[in-house]
Structure 1
Amino acid sequence: MTHSFLPIKPAGSTRWDIAALGEVMLRLDPGEGRVRNTRQFQVWEGGGEYNLARAASKCFGLSSTIVTALPRNDVGWLVEDCISQGGVDTSHILWRDFDGIGRESRVGLNFVERGFGLRSARGVSDRGHSAASGIRPGEVDWDKVFGTQGVRWFHTGGIFAALSETTAEVTVEAIRAARAHGAVVSFDLNYRASLWASRGGSAAARDLNRAIAPHVDVLFGAEGLGSAPSGGDPRAAIESAVADFPNLRVVATTCRTAHSANTNDWSAILHADGAFHASRERPGLDILDRVGGGDAFASGVCWALMAGKTPAEAVEYGAAHGALAMTTPGDASMARLDEIERAIHDNDAGVIR
């Protein structure tokens, strides 16, 4: 089933259901401790764009592939192994020769504390000179990815686009190729101040977003694009974005109020086909690890729309998936589809046995 407002290629008509473009980092997690004091880390793979592709595979059973770059060394192979365990195809990884010290190509690292109570979650990234940040236009055969092999849905976002001048160019190149071959294009604004601190700040990010937005079908995030002020009603920001860019078929965003690091009010809003749809509200949601909740929301929306669900259903699947993803450690979702549907329809969190 497809939607009149968002034509999607039928299942089985392409090699890949979803292709994502982005950096895949190693996340080093001290668990309940602090980065500054720990003597051991648990290692996960993660990345804003990749997380959606992984959830598409592991949770929703779709075929997914990641376009990224890694150094040809043991750390790069570790990331490749993690990606493979996540069920995501690795055939589109660009492998870089390693210079021995990572001056030119390395794996980006992300040290993440979950936070607790009044201690906020904290991320300390160490990603300079990463292999993915050096991807240049012309390196990926997009006609092969989208044409010969075929893709139903292409996803990328503002994190990858912000890594360097060349990744911004590659983002536009990939999106244009995806549209030319009839794939739905989604883009997650995902503004990170740390990535723009030396490159013009939020104003520069907004200019890049506005250059990309005319080529996007589905937008995740509401602020940093339209003319509405930040921090206000997300509906106003969505209306502003749709007015500025009428090509946007779907705009969706999560709505979060953090009472503490592990207690948040959580819901979501989606605009499609001229109407708003709001998810059920989850006040006082208990959270173990908030990182990746937005990516899980986006993946739930993507799958639901690809599965022919209505916009009202899609925002519920996204919000429930995001809520469940934040109950487990690491960036990636550990939820299954039946758990998402149970969370949508049932408030009972009792023991299942």
Structure 2
Amino acid sequence: MKIRSAKSCAWDQVSLGEVMLRLDPGERRIHTARAFDIGEGGGEYNVARGLRRCFGLRTSIVTALADNPVGRLIEDLMLQGGVDTSHVRWVDYDGVGREARNGLNFTERGFGPRAAVGCSDRGHSAASRLKTGDLPWKALFGERGARWFHTGGIFCALSETTAGVAREAMEAAREHDVRISYDLNYRPSLWKNFGGQARAREVNRALMPYVDCLFGNEEDFVAALGFEVPGVDEGYRDLDTAGFRRMISEVVATYPNISVVATSLRTARSASVNGWGGILYCKGEFHEVAQRDIEILDRVGGGDSFASGIIYGLLSEQSPEWALQCGVAHGALAMSTPGDTSMASLAEVRRAMSGASARIER
């Protein structure tokens, strides 16, 4: 892919998505908790933060927040993460959140036979109320400039208007030669309010002609686009990589504008141990990192860190093989720490890519 030079752009990467306040009960369950740790998170935002904090790139988030203490708390967390907040749209708060509020995401980590649980409280959020014409895309991409734009299926599922916002952003990005990535990130709990799986496929298929780089796992491609993965069992416990290759070939034949497709390979042996790897297609060639078992502390955000590692590899003009190895390593490290967002450093990612052991460093 031809990518604009860093010198010609104010930002290396820009994300569009909702940023929520995450509440984590630690080792307890949501329904038995008496205290929560807090952090910020959201699929599209997590990519921008990973690129900023781990890989040192200039990133920005385009979102909306209700202007109240919770919104300002989320802003403070984003500022600590180093992501530029100049494109946050602040919405007046009416005192109770009838018109706009800030989303909350309660997340408990799984362990052993007990799966992780997420409970979102994000209805009527400021980000879900965004509509076409609200955001200055031409100024952002044309006057200031960005090298890469990222959004995904979570944002598009927030309301009847958000898919239009994503399309408007993609049109402006393509007009100004900005590379576009999209994470299918299918969430049935979100789409069920807007026509279910049929509507998800309609929305995602309409956006695919704008996409350069597509992310998704096996369930995403089936549910969000309607491409079947041959040889995969119903519970996604046995992932046949030959089936993934055939499916990806069908995707790029249908949408020839897509030059990169990346999918993480995850097999959940238990909530605490997952098989983890990845496949990347780039310009007619496949690259694969075979699954190996990794221990999981908090699986949320692993896929976003996988995506940010691959985007970093592409932006830094590394080989597709290197980019995939970077994504797999970054995703694994992100799942070894709590919270949505990566706490890894580039040195740690490189160390994991080299196969170094986890012996203590002194």
On whether the aligned pair clears a TM of 0.5, the verdict is: yes
Q: Does 1:65 align with 2:60?
A: yes
Partner AA of 2:294 in structure 1:
L
- C-alpha separation in 1, matches of 2:195 and 2:134: 27
Task: Indicate which of 315, 327, 334 corresponds to 1:325.
Answer: 334
Specify the code of the residue in structure 1 equivalent to 2:360.
Answer: V
Structure 1 distance, partners of 2:274, 2:131, is 39
Quote the offset at 1:110 in angstroms: 0.5
Q: Which residue of 2 aligns with 1:206?
A: 201
Contact (CA 8 Å) 2:214, 2:261: kept in 1 or not?
A: yes
Distance of 1:88 and 1:290 partners within structure 2: 22
Q: Which residue of 2 aligns with 1:307?
A: 316
1:248 is the counterpart of 2:258 = yes
**Counterpart for residue 272 of structure 1:** 282
The residue number in structure 1 matching 2:228 is 228
Deviation of the 1:280 alpha carbon:
4.3
Structure 1 gap segments, 5+ residues each: 1-5
Equivalent residues of 2:15, 2:61 under 8 A apart: yes
Deviation of 1:197 (Å): 1.5
Shift of 1:12: 2.1
- Give, as a single letter, the amino acid of the residue that structure 2 aligns with 1:264: N
Contact map agreement 1:225 1:241 (CA 8 A) in 2: no
The superposition leaves residues 70-110 of structure 1 with CA deviations (integer Å, 9 ceiling, x where unpaired) of 01110000000011000001110000000110111111000
Amino acid at match of 1:320: A
Q: Aligned letter for 1:75?
A: V
Q: Which residue of 1 aligns with 2:180?
A: 185
- 1:253-295 per-residue CA deviation (whole Å, 9 max, x = no partner) reads 100000100100000000001011002432x210100000000
**Cα distance in 2 between the residues matched to 1:296 and 1:114:** 17
Scaled by the length of structure 2, what TM-score is found? 0.94
* RMSD, aligned α-carbons: 1.1
Trace 1:1-353 onto structure 2 (pairs within 5 A).
6-221=1-216, 223=221, 224-229=224-229, 232=232, 233-282=243-292, 284-353=293-362
How far the C-alpha of 1:238 sits from its partner, in A, is: 1.3
Letter aligned with residue 294 of structure 1: G
Q: TM-score, normalised by structure 1?
A: 0.96
CA distance in 2, matches of 1:240, 1:202: 20
Q: Partner of 2:312: helix, strand, or coil?
A: helix
Structure-2 residue corresponding to 1:3: none
2:69 counterpart letter in structure 1: D
Shift of 1:225: 1.9
Cα gap change, 1:343/1:229 in structure 2, threshold over 3 Å: closer, same or farther? closer
* Alpha-carbon separation, structure 1, partners of 2:202 and 2:339: 31
CA distance in 1, matches of 2:72, 2:32: 28
Helix, strand or coil at the partner of 2:31: coil
Amino acid paired to 1:181? H
Kindly provide the amino acid, as one letter, of the partner of residue 183 in structure 2. Answer: D
Q: Cα offset for 1:347?
A: 3.6
Cα shift readout 1:292-341 (whole Å, capped 9, x = no counterpart): 00000000000001101111111000000000000000000000011001
Q: Is the 8 A contact 1:27 1:45 kept in 2?
A: yes
Deviation at 1:211, TM superposition (A): 0.3
Query: Quick check: 2:228–2:247 contact (8 Å CA) kept in 1?
Result: yes
Going from structure 1 to structure 2, the CA distance change for 1:88 and 1:231 (only over 3 Å counts) comes to: farther
